[in-house]
Each structure stands twice: as C-alpha cells, then as structure tokens.
Amino acid sequence: MNFLEFIDRYAAHPNYFAPRGNQLYAKSWQTEAPLRMLLNNLDHEVAENPDELVVYGGTGQAARNTGALRQIIKELLELDENHSLLVQSGKAVGIVRTHPEAPRVLIANSNLVPAWATWEHFERLKQDGLMMYGQMTAGSWIYIGSQGILQGTYETFVACGKKYFNNDLKHKLLVSGGLGGMGGAQPLAATMAGATFLGVDIDPERIKKRLQTGYIDHISYSYREAADLVLKAKEKGEAISVGLVADIGDTLQNMLNDGIVPDVLTDQTSAHDPLHGYIPSGISLEEAILLRNADPDTYRERSMKSMARHVGLMLKLQELGSVTFDYGNNLREMAKQGGEPDAYNFDGFTPKFIRPLFCEGKGPFRWVALSGDPEDIYATDQALIEAFPENHHMINWLKKARERISFQGLPARICWLGMGEREKAGLIFNELVRTGKVKAPIVIGRDHLDCGSVASPNRETEKMKDGSDAVSDWPLLNLMSNTAGGATWVSFHHGGGVGMGYSQHAGMVVLADGTDRAAECIRRVLYNDPAMGIFRHHDAGYEQATETLHQFGMEFK
C-alpha cells in the first residue's frame, strides 16, 4: 500500500482510523506504534473534534493542521531504526541520526520562553500557523478516550470517601461541571465508587457521547427533573449518574436556592482556556461561538467573570458542608483573575487526596492493544491479576473496568501502578507478545499527570512540602531519563490542563513487541519513570517517599 492509498484508507480527513492486526505498514513496530496511536487519537470514537484535529480539552490537538499531519504520517511510514523524527508543536521539522534503542519520535508542544508564555502570545503564534496546543496526551499520541483519566478520578473519589465519609460514598451526592474528554470520566468513576452523580455541561453532544459509551446513565434538559432523579437515587443509595444540559453556575445557584447541598463538589470544565474552553453564563452555546469569533476580548472577560461567580457559588456550598476541591483545570486562578478574591479557599485534588500515591511512585499507567482485539486487553488484565494476587485494590479495579468500561478506538486499559509494579507489568506484557498470547504488540504509556513528570503549582505540585511547586527541573529530568532509557517516543509540553504559563510536563511511551530489545528498554524506562516521582518527593521532604526510596534501594551508594 503506497502513501496515498494509506491516507485514503486510514486518514481521509476527518475520518481517522488506526490500522488493526499484525500487518506492518511502517518499517517496524517502533514506528508503526506511534503511527497507530496518532491515528487512534483522532478516531471519531476517541477525539472530541476530529474536524479541527482536536482530541480533548477544548483545543488540545494531535497535529497542527491536516498538511502537517500528513507529513508526520509519511515520515513515520518511511522512518528506520537509525533515525528519529522531530515534531515541533504538531509539525514534523526534521529527522536526526540516532540508534535502534533511541526514541523514534521526539515531540515538543506549546513551549514558550516563560515571559512570553501567555495565552495572548500563544494565540498570535497559532493564528500564524506556528504552534498548536498539545494538552497532555493529545499532542503526545497516547490519549485513550475518557478511560484515560477514569481510574485517577475513581482513585480521587474513593480517597474522598475514605477521608470524609467512613469509606462509603453510598447515599452521597457528587456534583461537578464539565463532561468533555476529561470530565466525561467523572460520572462512571463516581458510580463505580458508590456515589450518586450529577454532572452539568452546556453542550448536549458531550453528554450524548458519554451515554453512547456507557459512562453516564441519563441525560436531562431540565434542572428540576435532574434534581429529582439524583435526590431520589441518593435517598435509596443508588449509584446512578445524570448529565444535565445547562450552565454549571446557574445549576449551583438553583441548588442553593433549593437548599440542595452536594456531599462532594468539584469541577472539570475546560476552565484552563477562558476563550476556547469555558462557556460564559447567560448565553447559549451557539451565541458563545459567535461572540468568541466576533469579540474574543469581551468573550474572555465574560468567561472569567462567570468563573468568578462559579467559584463563589462553590465556596457558599462549601460553607454549607460540601467537601469541595479543584480538579486540576485552573478554575481557581481564572476565577481569582475574574474577581473572586477567595478563589483559593479550597484545595486542589492532589494535596487533598493523591500525593500519598505519588510518594509510592504510583500514577496512571496505561496500555493499548495495537491488534485492535479486546481479547488482548482481557489477556493483560488476567496476567496482572495472576502477577499481583496481593494487590486487591488493583484486582477489584480491573474486574470493574472489564464489566463497565466501553473501549473507544483501539482497546486500552489504565491502572494505577507504582515503583516496581510498572516494570514487572511491562515485562509481562512483552512476554505475552513474544509467546503469541496476544496478537500484536502492546503500547505502554501514561498520562503526563504522574508522580514525577509535572511541574504544575495549581495541580500536581500544589503545596509541595518544601515550597518547590514551580520548579520544572523535575519534568525535564524525567524527559531526559526516559529518552536515555530508550522510550519509544517522548514528549515535553507546556500548559496541559491548566493553561499557558501554569505547567510544564513530560510524557513517555514504550513499546512491548516481544523482542529482547524491548525488554531492555522496558526495564530501564519503567524503572526510571516512577523513580523520578520517588526522587522528587523524597527531595521535597516526604517521609513516605523516603521509605519507598529505601525499600527499592534507590539511595546514593
């Protein structure tokens, strides 16, 4: 199949589709893997808006434009094991001489010199065709649909139940805004954790997508109907989820007026981007699109004022008893700039619930079956259950995931694993490929939201014990460690889920193709990657991280 035939079959805009099976189109699995994952990111089952090459997060793209995307595909089809492709903000810009165990693709997205790292400067560059926003896993080609954040959301909600509700979210109402590519994981995570869930999004298509994939149970266009549904379910202890088509600020105001106080309150609107992500209150979705194009300055001002109102209502509900936290979309900062002086009067989810897991090197380990066969994922599930019989939490998660998660695009799984566990799992997957127990290689990656790969003072590194929240040496060291270790592709991005100027983060993917070369790369990369989390938190003074350091013999010799 020549290049044009390949494009016509798998990448005829906007109908993108990753090849399945064990037939190679590229020269090796090392380049076939990133090629398939790039196309999978843009599959209509996975991406929020393939027409604009947007994967999730409002503007997070997989490639800069269709011409740049085709060039990347062409280079991946032709790339050999002694060269690596350079991708700058979604555009192939060169090929460098490397070696067989080097990353095949080196990606940098949305990075600006700090004094220029603003949305305004970024937008000028984007309009000139010089840059795109990569989010986290959109521009690093390892997004796996809403499942990608599902377990992290589940872990957060479970930790909330453990901390505040005696380990039980039954008869508890959890309310949140935003049901897009990231927020869309919330309803299923909440019900898996035992809660009754009300999610609010102004865009009905986002809720319909969650209905189609089984992530949400009901859609409603009426506040009264939705409130009645969730209140009755809460009283009965039923773990159901309802998606309400409405403005989140208006909904919280209605709840206050009616004396409805959620037990748990958070948010995952695309607040990090006040122009393209968040929809101002008081206007319809269609009116918002018109205003955004006609008068972006007015749109941004209205958006941030709406966020100030939104957070102000969250604060009132917190005073009435709601366990309230920021879920990493930079809502508090945008609200503060929009006029809410007390916006930071509730914590983010990382210091509140997740940091103890980071101190163990744990984070969102994910893998994808390049065969396209769900049975390959089920084989990996079973292999992990047999390999970690003592990890009851993981086993419970995997069983729930098989029962309740619909695959989007190439079948994939996510599971929070820590130091030692990731390396063991990766080698197990490589052996499954080598022995033919799965039908094609397995791609192993993670979210950039991980224990040692991010500097994000309003999210992953909020309130670090030593005050090192904004030190981005750590994600850079993570990038270099994984490059030196032999990851199959690596990435370094700016902005992620919190916006320009607020975060820097590194991503990695390593391929299990059943070879000895892959096994050596897996041993290095899946040691180095979680090790960075241990080093980072030990250096910051967390005793739990120091204990993990000693447990795995990671001290200086």
Active site positions, annotated: 415
Strands 504-512 and 442-446: antiparallel
Around Cβ 236, how many Cβ atoms within 10 Å?
12
264 CB-near residues (< 8 Å, 6+ apart): 157, 160, 164, 169, 172, 173, 174, 175, 195, 322, 323, 324
Cβ-based neighbours of 218, under 8 Å, separated by 6 or more: 226, 229, 240, 241, 242, 243
Of 378, 267, 276, 386, residue with least CA distance to 329: 267
The DSSP-derived string for 270-309 is STT-TTTTPPPTTS-HHHHHHHHHH-HHHHHHHHHHHHHH
Query: Do 48 and 409 meet the contact criterion of CB atoms below 8 Å apart?
Result: no
Residue the block writes with tokens 């909330």: 160
How many Å apart are CA 3 and CA 255, to the nearest integer? 56
Residue 326 DSSP label: B
CB 484 within 8 A of CB 400: no
Cis peptide before 204 (omega within 30 of 0): no
Contact, 357 vs 536, CB < 8 A?
no
Q: How far apart are CA 156 and CA 140, in angstroms?
A: 24
Q: What are phi and psi of 165, to 5 degrees?
A: -130, 35
Euclidean distance between CA atoms 193 and 418, whole angstroms = 21
Q: Show the beta-strand stretches assigned E in 440-488.
A: 442-446, 454-455
Q: Which two tokens stand for residue 505?
A: 């983060």
Cβ neighbours around 114 below 10 Å, total: 10
403-422 CB burial, b ≥16 within 10 A, e <16: eebebbbbbbbbbbbbbbbb
Report phi then psi at 266, rounded to 5.
-150, -165
498 φ/ψ angles, rounded to the nearest 5 degrees:
-115, -10
CB 520 within 8 A of CB 506: no
Sign, Cα dihedral of 174, 180, 185, 191:
positive
Dihedral sign, CA of 134, 140, 141, 143? negative
Q: How far apart are CA 48 and CA 293, in angstroms?
A: 20
In 3D, which of 307, 283, 313 has the Cα closest to residue 295? Answer: 283
